[in-house]
Amino acid sequence: MYVEKPCSHNLWEGRQLVRAAQKYGRIVQHGTQSRSARAQIEAIGHLHKGTFGDIYLARGLCFKRRDTIGRSPAEPVPHGVDYDLWTGPAPSKPFTRNRFHYNWHWIWDTGNGDLGNQGVHQVDFARWGLGVGLPTRVSAIGGHFMFDDDQETPNTLNCAFEFDQPDGHRKVLEFGVRHWITNDEAGLGSGGLFRRRNTIGNIFYGSNGYLAAGSEDAFSYESWLGSDQKAGPRGKSGSDHFANFISCVRSRKTAALNAPIDQGHISCALVHLANASYRLGRALRFDPLTEQVVGDDEANRLLSGGDRGYRPPFVVPETV
C-alpha cells in the first residue's frame, strides 16, 4: 500500500493505520519522496555525522503563490462521479467545485491546509534531519488573509515544535506556510522562474554552519561552513521512491522501506497538532509516549475526529 500525503485525517487515524500495517504484515510506504532521493539522503548524512556541528534548529518553508479559490455554488454531481464514495467518512454536503478535486485541501472536513498538503513533505524532512520523533510542545498562529472565498484552512501559518532530548537539551522545528507573493530564502527558490514563485524546502542551523535543501522541481542541497560561510557540501538528484516501494512489496522486507508508515504517522502527527493549536488558539503540551495532549480534553477530541465523527459505513474501527 502506497499512502500519499497525509496518511491520516487526524492523529487517531494515523495510529490505527500503523497498527493495521503491523498486525497484517502489510508493506505500507508514506509518500514523502525526499526519503528516497540520493541527494537528500546525503544531506541527512552530513547533518547526522556532525559536518555542521550540533544541529539545534530546523526551518521548513512552504511559500507557494496560490490565488483565491473564489466561491462556488452548489450544483448537480458530475456524471460518472460517485460522490457518496468520494465524500467517504466526511459529512454529506451538497456538491461544489471547491469541495471537489484539489480544493478539498482547503476545507476542514476533508483537508489539512497547505501544512498537510505540500508542507508535510518539509515537516518530515525537517524532523528527519533533526533526528527527532514526536514533540513535547506545539504552537501555531496564523489566519486566512486577503481573500473572501470558500477556503477554511489558513493560508498563512507559523508553527513551532519543541522536542525534549534524553540529554536534557531541546531541539526546535519551525514551519511556515505563506501564500501569494513570496520571496527566496537561503537560496531556496532561486533556480528559475517556476522555483522563484515557490520557495519550498528546509534550512538546518548548526554550531558550525547551515544547510539548505529544496525539493520543488529537483531534490538538491547546498551548505555553508564556519563563521566565514565557506561553501560546503552540495548535491542534486532525482528520487526512486516508487522503485523502493515496489522492491519492498516483492521482498516483503518492511525494514527496507525508506519511508515506513510509522514515520509517516509521526510527521503527520506534527501537522495535526499544529492545526489543532491554530484552531483552538492555544499552545499544546504533548506526551509522546501516550500520544495525548496533556490536560486538554478539547484538543484530544479534535485530534481523534472531533465532533465530525465518521459517516457510516466509512467508519474506522476501534480495533483493527
Write out pLDDT tens, residues 209-244.
999 998 755 789 999 999 999 999 999 998 899 999
* Least confident stretch, 102-106, 126-130, 218-222, 254-258: 218-222
CATH number of the domain at 43-238+267-302, please?
Answer: 3.30.360.10
Which pLDDT score, from 0 to 100, does residue 49 have? 97
The pLDDT tens digits of the residues spanning 44-89 come to: 999 999 999 999 999 999 998 899 999 999 999 999 999 999 999 9
* Amino acid identity, position 66: R
Beta pairing partners, 200: 62
Instruction: Evaluate the omega torsion of the peptide bond into residue 6 and state whether it is cis, within 30 degrees of 0.
Output: yes
Q: How far apart are the first and last CA of the chain?
A: 16
**Is 314 a residue whose pLDDT tops 50?**
yes
Question: Residue 251's CB: how many other CB atoms inside 10 A?
Answer: 11
For the CA atoms of 53, 135, 219, 203, the dihedral, rounded to the nearest 10 degrees, stands at: -50
C-alpha cell at 264: 509517516
Residue among 128, 236, 106 nearest 177 (CA): 106
pTM, 2 dp: 0.93
Q: Are 3 and 27 in contact, with CB atoms under 8 Å apart? A: no
Residue among 99, 90, 106, 95 nearest 309 (CA): 90
What gap in Å lies between CA 243 and CA 255, rounded to an integer?
15
What ranges do the domains of the chain cover? 43-238+267-302
* Amino acid identity, position 209: G
Instruction: Provide the 3-class DSSP secondary structure of residue 231.
Output: strand
The residue-averaged pLDDT of 254-277 equals 96
At 281, give phi and psi (nearest 5°).
75, 30
What gap in Å lies between CA 308 and CA 152, rounded to an integer?
15
Which residues in 232-247 are b (16+ Cβ under 10 Å) and which e? bbbbbbebebeebbee
pLDDT band per the 50, 70, 90 thresholds, residue 9? confident
